[in-house]
Structure 1
Amino acid sequence: MRRRLDSVRARATLGATLVVAVALVAAGTAVLLSLMSSLSGQASTLAERTAREVAAELAAGLPYGQLSLDDDDRPVQVVAEDGTLVAAGEDLQRISGTGTDAVRPTAAAPPARDGEDGEDGEDGDDVGDDAGEGGADGKDGGEGGDGGEALEAGEIGDETSYSDGSATVDGDTADYRFATVSVETGDRGTLTVHAGAPLSAERSAVGAALTVMLIGFPLLLAVVAGVTWRVTRRALRPVEGIRREMAAITASADLARRVPEPDTHDEIARLARATNETLAALETAVERQRRFVADASHELRSPIASLRTQLEVGAAHPELLDVPGAVEDTVRLQNLAADLLLLARLDAGERPADTRVDLAVPAREQAAGRARVTVDAESVDVTGSRGQLGRVLANLLDNAERHARSAVTVAVRREGRWAVVEVADDGDGVPEADRERVFERFVRLDAARSRDDGGTGLGLAIARDVVVRHGGTLTVRQASAGGALFELRLPVAG
């Protein structure tokens, strides 16, 4: 199980499912809040409308008994300034959330309009007087009023306050949104009207939406997980093919094999191509290393065999020992070992030193003592290893002297941001087809040339490797005298 969870496909599926789940929860919450706000706003509007209708009737002087208070869906309370309930719907049995829990008026109030008496005569006058006194004493707003808003007689307050509560009307208990409005009646003082609108539609709609979400979201997440699992399996199938082929290559050590490349243009196809390019480069490097080892063994075998023969003859016949020849073979072995060591260091990625070198100086030093070499050098500074750059110039001069008929020329100059060194001879030159091949290791174009003239076939290979690691180039073309011209270019220091 843990292995399955550690797969890319499992992590991708889990991640996609979690992201979608978070998005769905956030969207669902937003929808529910928006729905609740919208429905609550509708209930508030309906409750306010009812409260203002009753307030308008009170402002018009209607008696309490003639008010529109018997709507089963909208419980209404009319409260005097002293907090006494003066009117309420007949079917109202219980109420909370308005600040007044009473559901039955303590006394009936007369209409007191145009001098007419209310239904109950004296009691109505007394209540009316009390209400009038309350209005006179408390026009700044009683409990549940407009918080100090001064109202003229027959005027309804502009401000509406809201609260949530519950009520039982005709035996049915439900949650309500209550709106509170104040009205100035003049003869009955400032009255407060509480009217409610049911929240059952809000509760029902929110419950239905929540039920749909609780059922639909898990199904949607299951679909997302299933689709993601299948899509990632299909997308990662080439990766598994690449893995299997790489495992087979590792087991067989056959670097000639290549991983399959999907016929697409996505990241996996680029990965496969990059893997094959890496395998090709690795195959080339391994083949080059094998060839190098074989060539080095061959080159070492000849001087070692010659030296051994001379020493064996010298041991048997001391008078026949060729001491100069033995010394020459020993020097050649020493030079070959030094070349091999330098190549090994270059292959290991050794970086050149970061010092300023005037190319004119090593050019003159390496030309000194060579009878056929002439130098025309101007001072040009480059950055690198003085010893390695001197070795490059020495190898180029050695090669030129071996092939020159009579003269070798060295020129050092500056061309823009490049320092240029040219080494030319008047020999037979290098055929155009072989101008890259001469820089390969252990390559000799003249097969008839004696191996005892000092060449190992590594000089030009070492020279190019050193120059490339100094950020430059080394090429060969035909010289004006008909021989070979080796051109070395290095970036100017600074």
Structure 2
Amino acid sequence: MRSVRARAAIGATLVVAVALVGAGLAVLLVLRGNLIDQTDLQAEVAAREAAGQLATGTPYEDVELDDAEDHPVQAVDEDGRVVLASEGLRAISGTESRRVAPEPPASPVPGEDDDSAADDDDAADDGGGPGRGEVSSDSPAFSDGTATVDRATADYRFAAVEATTPDGVTLTVYAGAPLAAEQEAVKTVRGAMLTGLPVLLVVVAGVTWLVTRRALRPVEGIRRELAAITASEDLARRVPEPGSRDEIAALARTTNETLTVLEASVERQRRFVADASHELRSPIASLRTQLEVAEAHPDLLDLPGAVADTVRLQALAADLLLLARLDAGEKPGGGTVELGALVREEVSQRTGDRIAVAVEVPEGGAFEVNGSRGQLARVIGNLLDNAQRHADTAVAVSVAADGRGVRVEVRDDGAGVPEDERERIFERFVRLDDARSRDDGGAGLGLAIARDVAARHGGTLGVHRAPEGGAAFRLRLPRPS
């Protein structure tokens, strides 16, 4: 099932169904329990009423009983003989005996006028007889059963109450209360639940479907726009952002931010390819021209120029390769580099610079950082090359501690960098001095490479105004943790 709306609707319906079924069962159990309690009370009242008459010595045949259909009554003695039953009672279950016809008692019937009864009365008057009977105050026992009155059979709830007659006979009186009202109420509620539950589930499913559809409508708009962007390859387009402040609006904003970054990356890549092609065209064309001239007129071959063009092509190819590796996310090595020693080494190898480089590195200082020695040497070399091109009379490089990191600063006394151009110069193939020749000014990749390498090492590279009046490039790198 691929539709989110369908999954949400089915999931919500299942959850509601389980909740409603559980709640419905609980309601039915509570309702049935309450109705059973009421029925038990009715049965107990009827049983105690009959037991009370027997306890006062009322003869069995004179005991007043409710209508058998409302409260069927049966009394059983200690021997299990039925001594009392409601008139019209044809069958009974759920009591001690299934018999419904009274049997002759083994002991004299309460109230019988014979000599022994007279003697008992005299004894009672003398204080020696059995006296008045009693009804047990213990909670009665309850049981479920059926009773057939005349020709109608129904379910009943029976209460069993013990009573002792004045003659000392212990009887168990069973009285029933009909369960028809309880059964009808439970049946009605169960029927209503079974009827209403499907309707309610359909409503829940429909509402969930509509709400989910409305909530996901912006997502469909985002999907359609992304599909159109993919088909047209127009990264300038943006997906619609809903006015809500929910997760979908955040998704749309993030998608647009991603498209912006992607557009900038693609544009930068296109510009990079175009600029690289443009930069490579000149030395290749020059080299080809010189080779063609040499082929036709060997004596006119400009060998130094051909070598210079070849060196320039080699350097440009190396720069482009390094940028490609950096763009691919290449991480620097995990070695440790001592920047003070690295700066001294780089400066010592620059014997052909037109301006001598002043080195300011404190003796005995520890300026270690993590990273690639080759890439960091490339950064320092690029900064020194840039300073040599723009300096008038002085170039200096210093290394110093900077909080938890190390700072390398390259300064010159040239014209400096205008404040509004201080970020632009780190873009690829950017040269502020358009009048400068390509051979002298380079391809405009040195500073871009230096900043990218600094960022890959967790550092920063920026430019400020030097005390000498020119530019001061500051490279900050973190110390090993």
Deviations 1:157-178 (A, max 9, x none): 4132221111112332111111
Deviation for aligned residue 1:355: 2.2
Deviation for aligned residue 1:311: 1.6
CA distance in 1 between counterparts of 2:357 and 2:381 reads 12
Aligned to 2:9: 13
CA distance in 1 between counterparts of 2:177 and 2:417 reads 104
Deviations 1:240-284 (A, max 9, x none): 222221111111111111112222212222222211111111111
Matched, 1:309 2:251: no
Deviation for aligned residue 1:427: 0.9
Q: Which runs of 4+ in 1 moved over 3 A?
A: 108-113
1:420 to 407, 426, 430: 407
CA distance in 2 between counterparts of 1:441 and 1:327 reads 25
Aligned to 2:191: 211
Q: Could you tell me whether the CA contact under 8 Å between 2:76 and 2:96 is conserved in 1?
A: no
CA distance in 1 between counterparts of 2:219 and 2:98 reads 74
CA distance in 1 between counterparts of 2:109 and 2:5 reads 83
Q: Could you tell me whether the CA contact under 8 Å between 2:218 and 2:242 is conserved in 1?
A: yes
CA distance in 2 between counterparts of 1:411 and 1:76 reads 115
Aligned to 1:328: 308
1:44 to 37, 40, 44: 40
Matched, 1:80 2:58: no
1:154 to 128, 134, 149: 134
CA distance in 2 between counterparts of 1:77 and 1:414 reads 107
Q: Could you tell me whether the CA contact under 8 Å between 1:70 and 1:90 is conserved in 2?
A: no
Deviations 1:326-373 (A, max 9, x none): 111111111111110111111111122222222222222212233621
Aligned to 2:128: none
1:284 to 244, 264, 269: 264
CA distance in 2 between counterparts of 1:207 and 1:455 reads 95
CA distance in 2 between counterparts of 1:476 and 1:106 reads 121
Deviation for aligned residue 1:112: 6.2
Which segment drifts farther, 248-257 or 381-390? 381-390
Deviations 1:121-148 (A, max 9, x none): 69x98xx9xxxxxxxxxxxxxxxxxxxx
Aligned to 1:477: 464
Unaligned 5+ segments in structure 2 are: 121-131
Q: Could you tell me whether the CA contact under 8 Å between 2:81 and 2:105 is conserved in 1?
A: no
- Counterpart of 2:360, as a letter, is D
Distance 1:312 1:46, change over 3 A: same
CA RMSD across the alignment:
2.1
Matched, 1:376 2:360: yes
CA distance in 1 between counterparts of 2:478 and 2:54 reads 101
Aligned to 1:196: 176
- Counterpart of 2:28, as a letter, is L
Report the 3-state secondary structure (helix = DSSP H, G, I; strand = E; otherwise coil) of the residue aligned with 1:182.
Answer: strand
- Counterpart of 1:372, as a letter, is A
CA distance in 1 between counterparts of 2:63 and 2:404 reads 103
CA distance in 1 between counterparts of 2:341 and 2:108 reads 125
CA distance in 2 between counterparts of 1:181 and 1:388 reads 102
Deviations 1:201-243 (A, max 9, x none): 1101111101111211111112122222222222222222222
- Counterpart of 1:85, as a letter, is V
Scaled by the length of structure 1, what TM-score is found?
0.88
Scaled by the length of structure 2, what TM-score is found?
0.91
Report the 3-state secondary structure (helix = DSSP H, G, I; strand = E; otherwise coil) of the residue aligned with 2:58.
Answer: coil
Report the 3-state secondary structure (helix = DSSP H, G, I; strand = E; otherwise coil) of the residue aligned with 1:414.
Answer: strand
Matched, 1:436 2:423: yes
1:73-112 mapped onto 2 (5 Å cutoff): 73-107=70-104
CA distance in 1 between counterparts of 2:338 and 2:50 reads 106
- Counterpart of 2:39, as a letter, is A
Report the 3-state secondary structure (helix = DSSP H, G, I; strand = E; otherwise coil) of the residue aligned with 1:379.
Answer: coil
CA distance in 1 between counterparts of 2:250 and 2:328 reads 28
Aligned to 1:409: 396
Which segment drifts farther, 464-473 or 411-420? 411-420
CA distance in 2 between counterparts of 1:240 and 1:260 reads 10
Deviations 1:438-491 (A, max 9, x none): 000000001111211262210110111111122111111111111111111122
Aligned to 2:329: 349
- Counterpart of 1:441, as a letter, is R
1:29-68 mapped onto 2 (5 Å cutoff): 29-68=25-64
Distance 1:102 1:188, change over 3 A: farther
Q: Could you tell me whether the CA contact under 8 Å between 1:418 and 1:491 is conserved in 2?
A: yes
Deviations 1:44-89 (A, max 9, x none): 1221222222223333332222323343311111111111111111
Aligned to 2:123: none
Q: Could you tell me whether the CA contact under 8 Å between 1:56 and 1:156 is conserved in 2?
A: no
1:119-268 mapped onto 2 (5 Å cutoff): 154-185=134-165, 187-268=167-248
- Counterpart of 2:112, as a letter, is D
Deviations 1:285-328 (A, max 9, x none): 11110000000001111111111122222222222222222111
Q: Could you tell me whether the CA contact under 8 Å between 1:70 and 1:91 is conserved in 2?
A: no
Deviation for aligned residue 1:111: 7.4
Deviations 1:414-446 (A, max 9, x none): 222222211111111100010000000000001
CA distance in 2 between counterparts of 1:59 and 1:490 reads 106
Matched, 1:117 2:108: no
Report the 3-state secondary structure (helix = DSSP H, G, I; strand = E; otherwise coil) of the residue aligned with 2:35.
Answer: helix
